[in-house]
């Protein structure tokens, strides 16, 4: 299969391959695909498009564009996709680190993106491996995009992720040094700081601990055939996150333990994330 190479994409032929990957990764119908000519014009006007090649094959890509957030210019990352047969070989995270390097070289301090809150694999990649943080829950965010829903009739909720490119949590992770916040929280798992333990019942909104955990189910996939199960979890997670974000907590980590998985929340220290 050959060596993996990561480099910027820049030709119409490469953007056509990206469209094919989009279709294979997300299973979109044609009307939901971003076309090659859109990638072409947006890269010409400041977007970042990076591909990962295994031998001659384009195995995956990451795409972001310039955007505004809280009065700052940032890159907003719209798509990260790796073809199923190439997954689990570090391609996804290498693409994200390459995206960070390119954004830094262009003078950006932050990359943002949105993620479905109930996907544990993505949460692990984003919070644990890459070191993103979030303080923002976007309920029913893409009203007219059923293709992005987890299951038929389930609203499309998103977390708005902030990747503070210069922060020590991100710099450390690029060197492979992971925070112990998740592990410490895991050790405290038997304690009383889980806001919504087990299958969604009534979440506890009264916790005041320094670290609070919010549970999500392990292994829900897109296109779930159990909309009522997804809806029940979504409702509990949404209300719990909205409540604790309003109280000043941020999600700072994520961990799996046996068959359960948890977001870790705490309040930031003063000025901890660059003042954006
Ligand atoms: C998310 C995605 C890009 C990951 O790509 P990938 O090349 O397989 O990811 P990597 O091999 O770099 O692995 C990233 C992390 O996820 C873990 N991981 C990868 N595949 C996994 C699996 N099937 N189950 C559990 N964990 C897995 C890896 O162990 C790694 O964690 P680590 O940092 O602790 O080692 C890919 O699964 C994908 O294209 N998914 C569909 C599109 C999508 O959801 N995009 C949005 C991403 S935010």
Nearest CA to ligand 1 atom 44: 122
Query: Does the pLDDT at position 238 exceed 60?
Result: yes
Scan for tokens 């954006």, then name that residue.
Answer: 276
Give the binding-site residues of ligand 1, using a 6 Å CB cut-off.
25, 80-82, 87-93, 115, 121-122, 124-126, 129
Record the pTM: 0.94
pLDDT band (50, 70, 90) for residue 258: confident
Contact 73, 108 (CB under 8 A): yes
Residue 265: per-residue pLDDT: 95
pLDDT tens-digit map of 153-185: 899 999 999 999 999 999 999 998 876 666 666
State mean pLDDT over 138-162.
Answer: 91
Nearest CA to ligand 1 atom 29: 88
Instruction: Find the angle CA(72)-CA(92)-CA(126) to the nearest 5 degrees.
Output: 50
State mean pLDDT over 118-130.
Answer: 95
Nearest CA to ligand 1 atom 30: 125
Which ligand 1 atom sits nearest the alpha carbon of residue 95?
Answer: 12
Residue 181: per-residue pLDDT: 65
Residue 225: per-residue pLDDT: 84
Query: Does the pLDDT at position 27 exceed 80?
Result: yes
Query: Does the pLDDT at position 274 exceed 70?
Result: no
Residue 177: per-residue pLDDT: 81
Identify which has the larger pLDDT, 274 or 98.
98
Task: Provide the mean pLDDT of the chain.
Answer: 92
Torsion sign over Cα 238, 241, 246, 252: negative
Mutate to test the pocket of ligand 1, among 79, 87, 130 (most ligand atoms within 8 A of CB): 87
Q: How far is the CA of 52 from the centre of ligand 1 (A)?
A: 14
pLDDT tens-digit map of 190-213: 555 999 988 888 899 999 999 999
pLDDT band (50, 70, 90) for residue 222: confident
Residue 176: per-residue pLDDT: 85
Residue 187: per-residue pLDDT: 61
């Amino acid at each position: 299969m050959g060596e993996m190479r990561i480099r910027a994409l820049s030709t119409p032929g490469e953007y056509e391959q990206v469209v094919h990957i989009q279709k294979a990764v997300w299973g979109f119908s044609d009307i939901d695909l971003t076309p090659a000519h859109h990638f072409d014009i947006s890269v010409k006007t400041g977007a970042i498009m990076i591909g990962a090649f295994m031998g001659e094959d384009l195995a995956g890509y990451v795409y972001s564009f310039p955007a505004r957030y809280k009065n700052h210019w940032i890159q907003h990352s719209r798509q990260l996709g790796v073809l199923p047969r190439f997954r689990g070989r570090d391609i996804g995270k290498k693409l994200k680190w390459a995206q960070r390097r390119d954004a830094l070289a262009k003078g950006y301090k932050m990359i943002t993106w949105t993620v479905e809150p109930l996907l544990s694999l993505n949460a692990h990649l984003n919070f644990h491996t890459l070191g993103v943080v979030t303080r923002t829950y976007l309920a029913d965010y893409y009203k007219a995009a059923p293709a992005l829903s987890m299951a038929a009739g389930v609203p499309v909720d998103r977390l708005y992720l902030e990747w503070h490119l210069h922060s020590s949590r991100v710099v450390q992770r690029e060197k492979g040094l992971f925070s112990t916040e998740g592990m410490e929280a895991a050790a405290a798992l038997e304690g009383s700081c889980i806001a919504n333990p087990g299958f969604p019942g009534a979440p506890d909104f009264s916790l005041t601990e320094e670290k609070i955990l919010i549970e999500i189910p392990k292994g829900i996939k897109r296109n779930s055939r159990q909309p009522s199960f997804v809806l029940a979890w979504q409702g509990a997670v949404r209300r719990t996150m909205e409540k604790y974000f309003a109280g000043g907590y941020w999600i700072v980590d994520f961990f799996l333990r046996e068959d359960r998985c948890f977001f870790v929340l705490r309040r930031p220290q003063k000025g901890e994330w660059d003042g954006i």
